[in-house]
């Protein structure tokens, strides 16, 4: 008899399971259920639809051959039964049935299953802030909400926006509003940096500076206290430090796995609140699989379980679930948290743990930050890459990488190569020797990633005694310490004008013969354009017994990206 | 007493050893020797200098801070002694000395060493073809030759060029001549494809088509028989099939490691002719290190030794040699042959073995070819990526990847992620689950690399019965077999016009109900835009007992890239 497969949830994971399973098993009776009437859409495209990069909502639920992925498509093209606008309200694990309710008429029905797949996704979190339910306050839960927001934009009624939450969605939607619509946008984050779960402070500061350069007002370290209505259609967001007037408020304070159905059926949930699954993506009931945003995953670097709502993970898990339902033995081992995004003209990416996460997990993290051209420096149109590479001091194991730069694809190339190695537990040495493709239009002979590894190797060896641009700026602002600038006189001149005798300049090629000019009694920050010359200067000075120096990682390039006002 | 370090060769590896060692050891006496008067230049930049992307020759031997890397720079900035225009003529390993000859005056001198580094590089091969020594015939051996070629270009005296050798340098120089200078260029390769040691036939055909589209005449399977002078300054290249008139001939027939000095000193050479080194990059004499283009390296996929002349490998080896000379223990395990290049608007890359190389090494190779947008298909400005992924049938181990596409950085990102995994001996399954960064502007939720893995997994499982575009075109041209086109009617119409009843069209969503129309008695090639729908059609047909089908890998996108004249 044909196997009955029931899949609850028809976005990303659900359709992937259904389509793959149909290809593996021509006879299975496969039914996809969803509460919504629009299914199988690319939710990650929502910010680009709101921002106008994508014009038609339908593009988000069409195939690459421009065919709508609707009920008809699944029925005729894929041979899969789809039932939309139905809600699964209970699972009877003993009887192997699911009770569903038709949301258009309220009638209920009981569907049997041999294997059940939970692809229930996640729900936006509405923080317990008064006013979160005002009509001006939106989440980006689904395409309907996206459509409402976009129609407000196109109507021209929105002049000012407040986005609450500086995570990926908050940053993307801030760009969408500012870029095409010219809306005065304030992005509010309660942590002391944006993208706090994704980036360490150095790369996060680059992103913040870039957002500000593009006109987004970024408020960090600010808690939203209340949202109130003003006049006919405006509202006011009160934070711990500010009052922001806005015509629209977007809540981007994260999502929570939708696990009600699973919990009521007695399936095990994990410590982070997601459904617990094994490597085969089975729940605690061997006839029920789960994947996508509703499950928790093993972080392969920290070893701890985590939530990671990402369409790419969902799709890959969907394939694995289908293989396993069909009797195969396919594994999803976990994630190293690889991530990338575009923020205006900047691409950024990360994998593994941030410094803070590494510390919290019990590692002894140490990191290098470098600035380097993404192409051979003699090849035109190169852009700087900013890379932070983190390792554990004791084991030399790589824990994470973060990067940003104007050539987004070049950033992605660097992050991804380290990302895929993370699960192999590689050390700094393998990054130094890493063999990525080299040609002048695409890389330097010593690639930026290799150099990030080299810098970290030198730091671990005690040859390079670093300070990052963020810490340097904080300390320099306190007022006494000096900078030794090893660039040419012309480059240093405006800095000497601004900072006077706190700014010493000895060009690199004069350093060996002008050692006597260097003060030995106070802390000295060494700076060049991007870092290599100040590192070399530090080595020379150490040799001469001058050890009161800190080498500014990534040089002036990194300082400027961290604080564009520095000069 | 200070250690005496002698380094023979001052391009790429040599300067890297010198500079790193100086940082590790402030007291060592480091001397860099070179035959040339220009040193420490980026040789890989030569084609871009000839082609005008780089204007000044000096850019190729300047630092990223625009300081000339000349003798003065090494002396004052780096603390390294440089002697140019001297040739090392003999090594006395017992006395630990090197005899050098001053090329300007002929005087000889004996220099002692504690550690010697051979960075003698490689020399262009001049094939035994009559006329190879004519004044119109150039190699790209060094900057002086590059300068001569460029001054001929700028003088306007060159209208037609013949490039002999379709490897990387031949392709790059063909682009350089055609693109900026509008020179009628013929590229001649004796093998049956261009880039024969780097690419398999599928991706190589894409590159060939692109070269031709840009105006380069590409002649494959043609052996050069003779070069003769014609008139005052022209010449004539006679091949097995053609006679090509040219004002300049560039020999790009590969390089050979420069090992004369090493061989005469009795150092062991390997089977490929390069100097034999261990993982610490020591030669058979423990006081002599060697690296860069003059050594042979372990291919970490095939296990065999190979030559790989690449500035990026040289630089990384240089760092390792310096660490080891200083008493460290750093390893260079070998290479997986990662490579990338730009060809006009196309980026391409590869790592590991080609199908042919895998077969020769004794593997049982099987490959998938896919075409897929590099970004989410709904995100604007995506370009197709063409990827070929090769695995061993028995072990499922990945043996190689090749890719091409218009977004070169996106190509690099895909190739590099697989490249760095090759030395870890990963299987197809890890590529299916590979966790590269995902965001709509940079990738699809199921990334192209994942899908290359999925396609290969399906081929290995027998679900996908493939034919590549190259083989399809060869067979279709023979005249009898038919295509089943599963795209829409509009897309199929021009093909039906051209190929008549050899071209059947059943759109994907009608396939399940029109099965009866499909001929069961002849071979049927299944085609869609990029491959997924024809694969699904094949699965549906197999289910219905129709097994006489072959699925064209990468769909029409790949067919068109292989033969732009097909429609």
CB contact (8 A) between residue A409 and residue B439: no
Distance from CA of A238 to the nearest CA of B (A): 32
Residues A413 and A505 in one domain: no
For residue B567, name the pLDDT band (cuts at 50, 70, 90). Answer: confident
CB contact (8 A) between residue B488 and residue A315: no
Residue at a domain's end among A460, A488, A516: A460
- B interface mutation test: which of A27, A69, A409 has the most B CBs within 10 A? A409
**Count of other CB atoms within 10 angstroms of residue B248:** 23
Q: From chain A, pick out residues whose CB is under 8 angstroms from the CB of B508.
A: 67, 77
CB contact (8 A) between residue A442 and residue B409: yes
Instruction: Measure Cα distances from A152 to A41, A133, A157, A181 in Å.
Output: 22, 18, 6, 11
In a domain, A131, yes or no: no
Q: From chain B, pick out residues whose CB is under 8 angstroms from the CB of A62.
A: 378
In a domain, A410, yes or no: yes
Rounded Cα distance between A532 and A545, Å, is: 20
Mean pLDDT of all residues in A511-540: 94
Q: Which chain A residue shows the shortest CA-CA distance from B429?
A: A330
List the domain range (segments joined by +) for residue A75.
4-122+256-325
How much of chain A, in percent, has pLDDT values that exceed 70? 100
Phi, psi angles (nearest 5°) of residue B348: -145, 155
In a domain, B129, yes or no: no
- Give the torsion sign (CA, B140, B141, B146, B152): negative
For residue A183, pLDDT over 90 is answered with: yes
Distance from CA of A56 to the nearest CA of B (A): 10
Radius of gyration of chain B (CA): 27
In a domain, B334, yes or no: no
In a domain, A64, yes or no: yes
For residue B65, pLDDT over 90 is answered with: no
In a domain, A128, yes or no: no
Predicted model pTM: 0.96
Q: What is the pLDDT of residue A64?
A: 85
Residue at a domain's end among A443, A460, A477: A460
Q: What is the pLDDT of residue B521?
A: 86
Residues A79 and A227 in one domain: no
Residues A276 and A350 in one domain: no
Residues B192 and B81 in one domain: no
Distance from CA of B251 to the nearest CA of A (A): 20
Residues B358 and B409 in one domain: yes
Query: pLDDT tens digit string along B103-157?
Result: 999 999 999 999 999 999 999 999 999 999 999 999 988 899 999 999 998 998 8
Of A62, A454, A487, the CB nearest to B319: A454
Query: pLDDT tens digit string along A127-137?
Result: 999 999 999 99
In a domain, A330, yes or no: no
- A interface mutation test: which of B65, B314, B485, B508 has the most A CBs within 10 A? B65
Query: pLDDT tens digit string along B158-170?
Result: 999 999 999 999 9
Q: From chain B, pick out residues whose CB is under 8 angstroms from the CB of A26.
A: 539-540, 543
Distance from CA of A62 to the nearest CA of B (A): 8
Residues A414 and A344 in one domain: yes
CA dihedral A126, A128, A131, A136 (to 10 degrees): -10
Of A44, A77, A528, the CB nearest to B509: A77
Phi, psi angles (nearest 5°) of residue B333: -80, -25
For residue B268, name the pLDDT band (cuts at 50, 70, 90). Answer: very high
Instruction: Measure Cα distances from A161 to A138, A158, A181, A226 in Å.
Output: 11, 7, 11, 15
Q: What is the pLDDT of residue A157?
A: 86
CB contact (8 A) between residue B65 and residue A528: yes
Radius of gyration of chain A (CA): 27
CB contact (8 A) between residue B311 and residue A417: no
Residues B347 and B407 in one domain: yes
Task: Give the residues across from A299 on adjacent strands.
Answer: A335
CATH of the domain at A48: 3.50.50.60
Residues A249 and A141 in one domain: yes
Residues with Cβ within 8 Å of residue B498, at least 6 apart in sequence: B567
CATH of the domain at A476: 3.40.250.10
Residues A238 and A281 in one domain: no
CB contact (8 A) between residue A376 and residue B45: yes
Residues A277 and A239 in one domain: no
Residues A343 and A456 in one domain: yes
Q: What is the pLDDT of residue A211?
A: 98
Q: What are the structure tokens assigned to B533, written together?
A: 């729908």
Q: Taking all residues of chain A, what is their mean pLDDT, rounded to a whole number?
A: 96
For residue B345, name the pLDDT band (cuts at 50, 70, 90). Answer: very high
Of B63, B316, B409, the CB nearest to A409: B409
In a domain, B392, yes or no: yes
Helix ranges (DSSP H) in B515-564: 532-543, 555-562
If one counts the domains in chain B, the total is 4
How much of chain B, in percent, has pLDDT values that exceed 70? 100
Residues A494 and A556 in one domain: yes
């Amino acid at each position: 008899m044909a196997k009955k497969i029931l899949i609850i949830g028809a976005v990303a994971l659900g359709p992937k399971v259904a389509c793959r399973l149909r290809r593996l098993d021509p006879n299975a009776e496969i039914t996809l259920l969803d509460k919504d009437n629009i299914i199988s859409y690319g939710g990650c495209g929502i910010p680009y639809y709101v921002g106008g990069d994508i014009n038609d909502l339908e593009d988000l639920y069409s195939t690459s051959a421009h065919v709508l992925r609707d009920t008809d498509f699944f029925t005729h093209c894929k041979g899969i039964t789809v039932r939309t606008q139905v809600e699964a309200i209970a699972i009877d694990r003993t009887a192997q049935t699911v009770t569903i309710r038709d949301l258009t008429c309220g009638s209920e029905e009981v569907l049997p299953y041999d294997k059940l797949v939970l692809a229930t996704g996640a729900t936006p979190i509405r923080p317990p802030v008064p006013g979160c339910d005002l009509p001006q306050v939106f989440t980006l839960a689904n395409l309907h909400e996206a459509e409402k927001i976009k129609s407000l934009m196109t109507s021209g009624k929105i002049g000012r926006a407040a986005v609450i939450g500086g995570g990926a969605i908050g940053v993307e939607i801030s760009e969408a509003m500012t870029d095409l619509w010219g809306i005065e946008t304030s992005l509010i984050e309660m942590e002391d940096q944006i993208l706090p779960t994704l980036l360490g402070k150095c790369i996060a500061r680059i992103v913040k500076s870039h957002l500000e350069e593009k006109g987004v007002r970024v408020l960090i370290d600010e808690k939203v206290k209340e949202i109130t209505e003003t006049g006919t259609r405006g509202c006011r967001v009160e934070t711990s430090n500010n009052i922001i007037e806005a015509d629209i408020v977007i809540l981007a304070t994260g999502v929570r796995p939708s696990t009600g159905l699973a919990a009521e059926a007695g399936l095990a949930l994990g410590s982070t609140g997601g459904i617990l699954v094994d490597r085969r993506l089975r729940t605690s009931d061997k006839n029920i699989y789960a994947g996508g945003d509703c499950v928790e995953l093993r972080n392969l670097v920290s070893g701890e379980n985590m939530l990671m709502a990402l369409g790419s993970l969902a799709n890959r898990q969907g394939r694995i679930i289908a293989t396993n339902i069909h009797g195969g033995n396919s594994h999803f081992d976990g994630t190293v948290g690889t991530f990338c995004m575009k923020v205006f003209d900047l691409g950024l990416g990360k994998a593994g743990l941030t410094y803070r996460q590494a510390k919290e997990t019990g590692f002894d993290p140490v990191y290098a930050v470098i600035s380097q051209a993404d192409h051979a420096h003699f090849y035109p149109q190169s852009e700087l890459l900013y890379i932070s590479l983190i390792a554990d001091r004791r084991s030399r194991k790589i824990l994470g990488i973060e990067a940003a730069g104007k050539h987004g694809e070049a950033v992605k190339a660097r992050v991804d190569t380290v990302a895929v190695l993370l699960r192999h537990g590689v050390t700094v040495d393998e990054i130094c020797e890493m063999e990525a493709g080299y040609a002048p239009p695409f890389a330097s002979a010593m690639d930026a990633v290799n150099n990030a590894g080299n810098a970290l190797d030198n730091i671990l060896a005690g040859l390079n005694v670093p300070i990052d641009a963020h810490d340097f700026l904080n300390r320099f602002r306190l007022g006494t310490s000096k900078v030794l600038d090893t660039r040419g006189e012309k480059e240093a001149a405006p800095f000497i004008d601004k900072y006077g005798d706190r700014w010493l300049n000895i060009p690199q090629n004069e350093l060996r013969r002008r050692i006597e000019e260097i003060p030995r009694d106070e802390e000295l920050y060494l700076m060049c354009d991007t870092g290599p010359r100040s590192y070399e200067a530090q080595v020379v000075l150490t040799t001469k017994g001058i050890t009161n120096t800190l080498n500014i990682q990534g040089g002036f390039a990194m300082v400027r990206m961290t604080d564009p006002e520095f000069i």
